[in-house]
Amino acid sequence: MAATSEHSAGPSRRSAVPDGGLLLFRVGGVPVLLAPSWWIGSLAIVVLYAPLVGRLLPGASMTTSWLLAAAFAVLLGLSVLAHELGHCLVALRMGIPVRRLRLFLLGGLSEVARTPRRPGQEGLIAAAGPIVSLLLAGFCALLLLAVPSDGSAWLLVAECAVANLAVGVFNLLPGLPLDGGRMLRAGVWALTGRRAHGTRAAVVGGGLVAVGLLVWALFGLAFGSDDRWLRLGVCVVTAWFVVMGAGAELAAEGRRGWPEGLLLADLVRPVLQLPAESPVADALAASAGRGVVLVRADGVAAGLLDEAAAERLAATSPHSPAELAAEPIRAETVLLSSESGDDIAERVHETAAWQFLVVDDEGRPAGVLRREDLRAAISGQSRF
């Protein structure tokens, strides 16, 4: 039921779509998938909920009970779908690509291609899902007033109201990977200026949410509530989901966070500009641990010298132009020296390149940042 971000950001990979489950449809070019685990979760809900229908609707036959239980499972799935579409459409509106939307087990997942750059973006995207769910719950509650209260139709509408209310309220709990946790992270991020601080606060919240779910399930068993077995099954699975999701968020933050006190100037290598037609062997010898920008005769940069490619070329043809071993300079591989550390770390994490040209505010080369240098500076065994 929680919307979360895929941690490996980058361009959308169409080959990943079939592995996510059954393709239902696309919205705004984003594939909506039904994972195999959704059927397992829905079957569990039907089995656990069917005995309750007899108590909610006295006189209902066994067939009616099973059909209404199946309807509840479908309505819960549709409620999660509406919730996730809220996240998806707001993200797209903000220009943040979404890889895919998946429904699985008891929840859903909107996989965005990159982390929101600002806390306001994260907060709005996170809030969109619960807002949709609560609005649908309110609509169904009003619809109950127009439906006779002694039949299956009333119970179906009530189920829809309860499903949306449960999805909306549960996701507002202040712990990752739930939407409330993302909103908490956005708030702490806005106050402190550090996304990592927000993540740590929301991970603690996730742990408290998991404990609360298990305590609630145990209370149901202790006091013999009618829904104790349904409550136990849902709470155990959901608590596991919350704990695993919070741990994944914390690990991802460690991979992309910028160490406190570290300056970009401490990491960048000096930059050397050489003519693009320079012999590759000479350019390789001149690099000596520096970043090399190869410039054509017209003053346009041909690219950054790729040392591995230069070594291969120099081994067979040392007098070939160094431009043949250049890695093109793309917009996404150019970093501003004035960018914040977190933004730089996020850019490096998202971009498939091993070196980045750092320029000052006037566009002049100020150095070269290599992925391996940033990786070594990140605490732990984080790997980009």
Segment of 179-188, 234-243, 294-303 carrying the highest mean pLDDT:
179-188
pLDDT in tens, 171-184: 999 999 999 999 99
Cβ–Cβ under 8 Å, residues 152 and 118: no
Cβ–Cβ under 8 Å, residues 79 and 106: no
Question: Confidence band (pLDDT; 50, 70, 90) for 106?
Answer: low
Percent of the chain residues past pLDDT 90, beyond the cut? 37
Closest CA to 205 of 228, 231, 186: 186
Percent of the chain residues past pLDDT 70, beyond the cut? 91
How far CA 273 is from CA of 67, 171, 306, 324, 362, in Å, comes to: 73, 53, 14, 16, 17
In this predicted structure, what is the pLDDT of residue 174?
Answer: 94
Q: In 257-293, which positions are buried (b, 16+ CB within 10 angstroms) versus exposed (e)?
A: bbeeeeebeebbbebbebebebebbebbeebeeebbb
> pTM for the full model?
0.70
Strands 107-112 and 334-336: unpaired
Cα torsion 161, 165, 168, 171: sign: negative
Q: Specify whether 84 is catalytic.
A: yes
Q: Is the pLDDT of residue 12 over 80?
A: no
Instruction: Determine the longest span between alpha carbons in the chain, in angstroms.
Output: 91
Q: What is the mean pLDDT of residues 71-86?
A: 89
Q: In 142-158, which positions are buried (b, 16+ CB within 10 angstroms) versus exposed (e)?
A: eeeeeeeeeeeebbbbb
| pLDDT-wise least confident of 64-73, 232-241, 250-259 | 250-259
Q: Is the pLDDT of residue 3 over 60?
A: no
Cβ–Cβ under 8 Å, residues 123 and 182: yes
Question: Confidence band (pLDDT; 50, 70, 90) for 205?
Answer: very high
How far CA 21 is from CA of 25, 275, 336, in Å, comes to: 12, 52, 40
Q: Which of 6, 84, 249, 346 is catalytic?
A: 84
Burial class (CB in 10 A: 0-12, 13-18, 19+), 69: buried
The residue type found at 306 is D
pLDDT in tens, 17-33: 445 678 888 988 899 99
Q: Is the pLDDT of residue 6 over 60?
A: no
Q: What is the mean pLDDT of residues 84-96?
A: 93
Helix (H, G, I), strand (E, B) or coil at 302: strand
